[in-house]
Structure 1
């Protein structure tokens, strides 16, 4: 008995779906890099296509097959240097496998190991960040496919709250006054000591579109995120390192909004060569220590809009 193509039949409820596919798909990937060591990753994929109202379902097994085919075959034949390029290859293959689709999307997330040294004792350690890639393709009525790709990173750091620190500084000044210290002495004392505040574990994310003919370095994105928070966090710290990290963060207090704006400015400065219509996503989430909720700030914009705003501030 021949098996019918159930997916190709008409559905009972004729409504189109925006995204249908698979998530939490893991696959070992080896990326080649120019004049550098190859990178081995274990990314998690999310793969989607749209579904017309006339079709009951997508051929679900084809999406994992695409990942398998691209990783096992195309990467052996072609030099692919970035996760965003890998995502584009997958999107194009999705259109081949799902001929009914007019939109296809791939999201890729992977841990990324970085070699670090502790700030004082210079102890070697491995730090983990997360790299992200996205490719999104649209097929027009003539069968022409346009694909946009983005690459980014997510990095954990530390933030120190400016508001609580300022309140504790004011309380300290009052206490010192009551104990007979002069205003001059109080100013010297407060300038000499590190004022306490509550901390958050900050999670910064930057995603940048990669136009055709341009490159966007993930290492540069990671550095931007690290430098935009109150301080870095490290896997391995000796006592002198811990003191340095805590003091450095408290000397550089930042709100969640400060971190997001700092990332925006650094993105505009570092990637000044990108076209003005390049899409940029910046997000900061601070895991609060004295609240049950978290703090959130985000900007989704183009390089042009961000440049214009920053120019307005400096004029």
Structure 2
């Protein structure tokens, strides 16, 4: 048997919980008649390097050399422009309006799209520079080393493009954070058997040469730099024959965090696309209460 409750109407319920009718306002409702504080000119003391919005989530299309070669993912955007001294503020709604426009056209995370976006953004906002920074999970297939069991891995990727109309130039930055296995060389050296290992996180940030931005998959290049210098790769699926190979490979390639950042830095130094880079490795130590961390920053010029 269903119990019945004698409820008041929804309007009466809202009134009981504090809702009040709207007042008759005196301010204009037409956009053309509304005051525009952001566009009120004055001397506002300082120009602003960047102002805008961040933590904006939007679906995007990602192309990859690895399978799946075309994927849709959710990216997090930061959209900013400069602001001159005589302007109080920017029209922030234009930022998301442009993002929606590119979404409707199919927003592909390529440097070509980001280049056009930042230039158009600076022009729409009537400012000298604009920056788009986007972070997103990138997925790729990985086979287990012995039995070829296929599963999906992922890394956290980043792209950043800045347009400066004063010199009509762009700057291009990329980033990738991936997980690896590292085995402690000291533990291997002093122990009668075995050695402790742990999951390490390699974070790479790069500045690219402007004339080197092309269709080459920078994500794979950064992933290779991290994984090929680690003690072993991580895998989504491992059976016993696979696990044997992975653990033995890790034992054959012991790495401190210091070793990791130096080896990854060497790969990035040899990469002709990369102008400057930062490499960080952080190990979640398996027998210590702390993490171990090391960082290298280097500029080729």
Q: Distance in 2 between matches of 1:289 and 1:110?
A: 28
* Secondary structure in 2 matching 1:95: helix
Change (3 A) 1:118 1:137: same
Change (3 A) 1:102 1:296: farther
Q: Which has the larger radius of gyration?
A: 2
* Secondary structure in 2 matching 1:212: helix
Deviation, 1:96, is: 1.5
Q: Distance in 1 between matches of 2:133 and 2:188?
A: 40
Deviation, 1:300, is: 3.1
Q: What is the match of residue 210 of structure 2? A: 211
Q: Distance in 2 between matches of 1:33 and 1:232?
A: 19
- 1:23 is aligned to 2:54: yes
- 1:120 is aligned to 2:143: no
Contact 1:87 1:108 in 2 (8 A): no
- 1:95 is aligned to 2:122: yes
- 1:288 is aligned to 2:289: no
- 1:66 is aligned to 2:98: yes
Q: Which has the higher helix share?
A: 1
* Secondary structure in 2 matching 1:231: coil
Q: Distance in 1 between matches of 2:291 and 2:39?
A: 45
Contact 1:88 1:149 in 2 (8 A): no
* Secondary structure in 2 matching 1:27: strand
Deviation, 1:198, is: 4.1
Q: Of residues 165, 173, 182 in structure 2, which corresponds to 1:150? A: 173
Superposition RMSD in Å = 2.9
**What are structure 2's unaligned runs of at least 5 residues?**
1-27
- 1:52 is aligned to 2:75: no
Change (3 A) 1:292 1:70: farther
Contact 2:177 2:201 in 1 (8 A): no
**What are structure 1's unaligned runs of at least 5 residues?**
173-193, 305-315
- 1:242 is aligned to 2:274: no
Change (3 A) 1:54 1:295: farther
Q: Distance in 2 between matches of 1:83 and 1:260?
A: 28
Contact 1:150 1:210 in 2 (8 A): no
Q: How many positions carry a matched residue from both structures? A: 266
Change (3 A) 1:45 1:162: same
Q: TM-score, normalised by structure 1?
A: 0.73
Q: Distance in 2 between matches of 1:71 and 1:197?
A: 47
Contact 2:202 2:279 in 1 (8 A): no
Contact 1:94 1:104 in 2 (8 A): yes
Contact 2:196 2:287 in 1 (8 A): no
**1:235-275 C-alpha deviation (Å, 9 max, x unpaired):** 11112322332232232111112111111212233x24x48
Deviation, 1:292, is: 4.4
